[in-house]
Amino acid sequence: MSESRVMLVDGMALLFRGYYANAYGGYIRKTKDGLPTNAVYGFVKYLLDACRTFNPTHMICCWDMGSTTFRTDKFDGYKANRPAAPAELIPQFELVKEVVSGLNIRNVGLAGYEADDCIGTLSRQLGELMDVYVLTGDHDMLQLVDERVKVVIMKKGPSNYAVYDAAKLLEEKQLTAKQFIDLKGLVGDTSDNYPGVKGIGEKTATKLLVEYESIDGILANLDLLPKSVKTKIEADLDMLHLCRELATITCQVPLSCTPEECIWRPEQAKIAELFERLEFNSLVKEVSCTITAVS
């Protein structure tokens, strides 16, 4: 399987990106029957572009399954700052999974866990057998980078990606994948609504991790830190440990997928029929070109 590679897709990241990229001036793409499709349309555009760029032989799309997870059990405020989804997006949550299935891509999600955790678990399982590409816009996923796992961060514009392996991570961020967990423990995450250590920013946190390697290393050397930094950490010690837990992607979700179960075998006729029903006529030719390019 040396030439095999699986692409693990962060479904919500692509769907939300697709929604906002295709809601110009308040215009929402809909079918003639009034079904909103702009997010799904954008999702498919992004997915096809990534397929042409990275040529996966296997594909899985992972999803969040509700707002309640083991992290909300640990911290009530986790993601509590997020606004409700736009009304036009809500019916597209199920529609996009139907489209993913229509593309012969497996949908994966498990109640109580986030898509990140499913991706982390599958990256470890399948990384023993093939190269793994994680497609996302979420820098939290950088903690998953290892010898066989690359994290592909989607940037603005088509075919614009930052592909992180261990070497690029160290060169650009000065940190290892594991240290990214401790970075989030120290600085928190405003989008996920956990605070980290009050008054510790990314620059200071990175400097501490470069010097002391981990949160445990920092705590073992508190007396060597500047007084102001030591005081801040000591004042938020419990929160520091909690935030490190919240930031950690679990790679032990009770799910599994064999390579045989996630081979990507797109059926052009089936996809064309689905796209015509959704009035994605401009994508029929694009998907045909993509299938030809990756086959």
> Could you give the CA distance from residue 5 to residue 59 in angstroms, rounded to a whole number?
9
What CATH fold (topology level) applies to the domain 5-172+249-288?
Rossmann fold (3.40.50)
> Could you give the CA distance from residue 34 to residue 148 in angstroms, rounded to a whole number?
44
Three-class DSSP labels, the chain: CCCCEEEEEEHHHHHHHHHHHCCHHHCCCECCCCCECHHHHHHHHHHHHHHHHHCCCEEEEECCCCCCEHHHHHCCCCCCCCCCCCCCCCCHHHHHHHHHHHCCCEEECCCECCHHHHHHHHHHHHCCCCEEEEEECCHHHHHHCCCCEEEEEECCCCCCEEEECHHHHHHHHCCCHHHHHHHHHHHCECCCCECCCCCCCHHHHHHHHHHHCCHHHHHHCHHHCCHHHHHHHHHCHHHHHHHHHHHCCCCCCCCCCCHHHHECCCCHHHHHHHHHHCCCHHHHHHHHHHHHHHC
Confidence (pLDDT) at 295? 67
Residue 25 has φ and ψ, to the nearest 5°, of 55, 25
Q: Are 62 and 10 in contact (CB under 8 A)?
A: yes
Confidence (pLDDT) at 3? 86
Q: Are 109 and 122 in contact (CB under 8 A)?
A: no
Which neighbouring-strand residues pair with 180?
Answer: none
Q: Are 187 and 176 in contact (CB under 8 A)?
A: no
Model pTM above 0.85? yes
**Residue ranges per structural domain of the chain:** 5-172+249-288, 175-247
The CATH H-level (homologous superfamily) assignment of domain 175-247 is: 5' to 3' exonuclease, C-terminal subdomain (1.10.150.20)
Confidence (pLDDT) at 289? 81
pLDDT tens track of the chain, all 295 residues? 348 999 999 999 999 999 999 998 889 999 999 999 999 999 999 999 999 999 999 999 999 998 899 999 999 999 999 999 999 999 999 999 999 999 999 999 999 999 999 999 999 999 999 999 999 999 999 999 999 999 999 999 889 999 999 999 999 999 999 999 999 999 999 999 999 999 999 999 999 999 999 999 999 999 999 999 999 999 999 999 999 999 999 999 999 999 999 999 999 999 999 999 999 998 988 888 888 777 6
